[in-house]
């Protein structure tokens, strides 16, 4: 969206995610993208194997499948044994490729092909290890030639941009068990190395990495420095900055670290300056570049900050027991905001798609909250509907100074035998926190949308309804258009996808920055001003 606004047609060709639910969401919303449900490590091994296959069948004078498979582990195949014993079972063609057992049954790493069998329908295609198809050299060759023509997988030097967000849980301040001595021994932190290894192999023109600000705080910015050092060692230009989502048109603060990389033959993208006024929270590490911000005089010219009510107040009322995946919007509110009007627009209008406009009224998706326990439902229903309300307003709590304690004479017990005021709420941050079972209010800006929706240690209750914010409400706080659907049998899986995402307006602004670099538009330094109409 952002690149298109600057005249560059940017298409996501491949996406990789280890979450099957996230992959389902990606496939639905991005039908033009080849979505791979695999680990980043296995995807890299697949890319290496694909290059070997292309070298063997497209450019090698000798040919032979053995060259491509010589380093692949032997794996038994049921279909392979049938091939030896039953002449009627014959390979028709190869239709797919992956690395690692697609069913997750067999241990070990191996290259697999998806085989279409002669005389059988496509729904009976099976995945077979490459070592079991040594007699199918011509079928493999045909698949590689066709796959190369269709560009089914990227080859080194053929990719324009690689974007990624290595998992942040290993360094996040929310993680009480962070590995300080050897951060890369945490498998989540090691994904940073995997991401850099993919960049090293594919050698894209540009790369963009996102992570929490803690990557530049944790252990003297060990991982942040590593990311920059890896890119510089690969002869990439590097630019680092901190962007606040609320400053690009969202009612959410959400500060994140972004690292641009560009080959020496390319123009290094800059960072977009804010478009909205938001009071800064938290801090940037002083030894690094500060968050991207404007001067005090320029601040006066920015648009007013968006508030919670501006984003979600138009959505229909629901209860904590709502289970519908789609529903009607109901009557349009008289005082609908500019943000609400924009976020409701159908895909063909927002994306400039050639898809004809639908004559039917759009549906509202994913407007359902997290299912709470019976006890939590009771607690939530007793939190007053007022600004600043939280568990401290429940009967049985007294506040001494800023410390919340259990009342010595009032202790309400629920039918489950547990107290109305849970012990974990009183102990959270030693009784000083006001977050447990906190209620948001219409004139507030949310701190950060995270991947969980439990109200036990965060402010996530709806201002006037006795429930947590719905998946759709969280998605709106992240800037996702209403047409964008999320999948997963449980609400938690959808909340995780929303909370893990880069805020859409930030991504859009960065896409615009990328297009400016591609078009070699000159900048006066590392930052630039977005056009006035960009955030409207």
- Which sequence positions are flagged as catalytic? 168
Q: How far apart are the first and last CA of the chain?
A: 13
Degrees to nearest 5, angle at CA 168 with 167 and 171 = 135
| Distance, CA of 34 to CA of 12 (rounded, Å) | 8
HSE-up of residue 225 (Cα within 13 Å, Cβ side)? 10
Beta bridge partners of 487: none
| Distance, CA of 208 to CA of 163 (rounded, Å) | 5
| Distance, CA of 474 to CA of 460 (rounded, Å) | 9
| Distance, CA of 218 to CA of 213 (rounded, Å) | 9
What is the DSSP annotation of 20-81? HHHHHHHHHH-TTSEEEES-HHHHHHHHHHHHHHHIIIII-SS--HHHHHTTSPP---HHHH
Enumerate residues 6+ apart whose C-beta is below 8 A from 467: 318, 319, 320, 322, 369, 372, 380, 461
Token pair for 308: 């919670």
The H-or-E segment that residue 330 falls in is none
DSSP SS3 for 213: helix
């Amino acid at each position: 969206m952002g690149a298109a606004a600057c005249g560059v047609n940017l298409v996501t060709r491949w996406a990789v995610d280890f979450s099957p639910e996230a992959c389902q969401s990606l496939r639905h919303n991005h039908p033009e993208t080849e979505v791979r449900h695999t680990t980043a490590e296995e995807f890299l091994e697949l890319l290496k194997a694909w290059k070997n296959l292309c070298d063997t069948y497209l450019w090698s004078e000798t040919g032979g499948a053995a060259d491509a498979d010589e380093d692949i582990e032997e794996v038994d195949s049921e279909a392979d044994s049938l091939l030896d014993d039953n002449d009627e079972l014959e390979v028709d063609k190869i239709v797919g490729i992956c690395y690692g057992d697609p069913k997750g049954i067999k241990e070990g790493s191996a290259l697999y092909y998806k085989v279409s069998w002669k005389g059988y329908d496509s729904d009976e295609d099976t995945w077979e290890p490459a070592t079991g198809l040594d007699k199918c050299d011509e079928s493999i060759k045909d698949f590689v030639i066709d796959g190369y023509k269709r560009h089914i997988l990227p080859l080194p030097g053929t990719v324009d941009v690689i974007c990624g967000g290595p998992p942040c849980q290993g360094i996040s301040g929310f993680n009480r068990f962070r590995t300080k001595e050897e951060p890369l021994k945490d498998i989540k932190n090691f994904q940073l190395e995997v991401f850099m290894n993919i960049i090293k192999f594919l050698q894209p023109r540009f790369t963009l990495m996102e992570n929490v600000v803690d990557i530049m705080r944790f252990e003297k910015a060990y991982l942040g420095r590593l990311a920059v050092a890896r890119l510089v060692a690969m002869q990439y230009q590097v630019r680092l900055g901190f962007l606040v989502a609320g400053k690009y048109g969202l009612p959410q603060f959400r500060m994140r670290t972004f690292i641009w990389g560009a080959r020496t033959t390319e123009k290094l993208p800059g960072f977009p300056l804010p478009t909205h006024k938001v009071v800064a929270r938290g801090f940037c590490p002083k030894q690094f570049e500060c968050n991207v911000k404007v001067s005090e005089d320029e601040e006066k010219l920015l648009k007013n900050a968006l508030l919670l009510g501006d984003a979600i107040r138009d959505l229909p009322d629901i209860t904590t027991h709502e289970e519908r995946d789609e529903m009607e919007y109901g009557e349009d509110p008289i005082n609908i905001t500019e943000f609400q009007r924009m976020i409701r627009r159908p895909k063909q209008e927002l994306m400039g798609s050639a898809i004809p406009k639908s004559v039917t009224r759009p549906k509202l998706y994913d407007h359902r909250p997290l299912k709470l326990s019976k006890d939590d439902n009771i607690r939530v229903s007793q939190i007053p509907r007022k600004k600043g309300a939280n568990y401290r307003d429940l009967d049985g709590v007294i506040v001494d100074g800023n410390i919340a304690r259990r009342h010595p004479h009032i202790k309400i017990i629920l039918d489950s035998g547990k107290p109305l005021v849970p012990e974990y709420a009183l102990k959270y941050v030693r009784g000083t926190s006001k977050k447990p079972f906190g209620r948001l209010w219409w004139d507030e800006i949310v701190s950060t949308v995270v991947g969980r929706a439990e109200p036990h240690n965060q402010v996530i209750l709806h201002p006037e309804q006795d429930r947590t914010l719905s998946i759709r409400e969280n998605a709106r706080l992240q800037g996702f258009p209403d047409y964008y659907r999320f999948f997963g049998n449980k609400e938690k899986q959808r909340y995780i996808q929303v909370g893990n995402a880069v805020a859409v307006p930030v991504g859009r602004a960065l896409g615009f920055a990328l297009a400016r670099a591609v078009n070699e538009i000159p900048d006066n330094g590392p930052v630039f001003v977005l056009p006035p109409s960009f955030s409207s």
